[in-house]
Amino acid sequence: MWSAALVGGLLSTAVCERAPAQQASHGATLAYFATSGDRDTLLHRPAPVAGTRTGRPNSSGLIGELAFLPWLNTRFALQYVAYARFNGSHDDYDGFGRSASDNNTLYLLAWLVF
């Protein structure tokens, strides 16, 4: 069971996206994201990978995406998420030596709408 030191703590997320005029068959998107919240050392504790040594959930970074739409109901995309800050810090965010950039992720997406 999870417990928290703060009752009614705040968590906020903001996204700013830029998608230039797209062709009907392809497109590109660049987005900045930021998540911030109250310090809570019970809820946000040091732990390998998902923990935080600062007690804060603050994260930020960029998302880049290239998309290809070969047919009306199909979309393929390649998306990269690059973290500048993860769980409150750039370096050693979890207290176990991990950097925010260790969470950078490459996604290959396929959507079929029916």
Whether 96 is covered by a domain: the verdict is yes
Residue 12 in domain? no
Residue 75 lies in a domain: yes
Please, which residues have CB within 8 angstroms of residue 56's CB and are 6 or more apart in sequence? 36, 37, 38, 39, 44, 87, 88
Locate tokens 């660049």: which residue? 30
Is 8 within the bounds of a domain? no
The residues near 93 (Cβ < 8 Å, ≥ 6 apart) are 52, 53, 54, 85, 86, 87, 99, 100
Residue 24 lies inside a defined structural domain of this protein = yes
For every one of its 114 residues, what pLDDT tens digit does the chain have, with 9 covering 90 and above?
455 555 566 778 877 777 765 566 888 999 999 998 888 877 777 778 777 888 888 899 999 999 999 988 899 999 999 999 998 899 988 888 899 999 999 999 999 988
At 1 the pLDDT is 45
User: Which residue type does 27 have?
Assistant: G
Segments forming the whole domain that contains residue 82: 17-112
Number of domains, the chain? 1
What is the pTM for the complete model shown? 0.79
Residue 11 within a domain: no
pLDDT at res. 63: 94
Strands (E), 22-104: 26-37, 59-71, 74-85
Measured in Å, how far apart are the chain's first and last C-alpha atoms?
Answer: 40
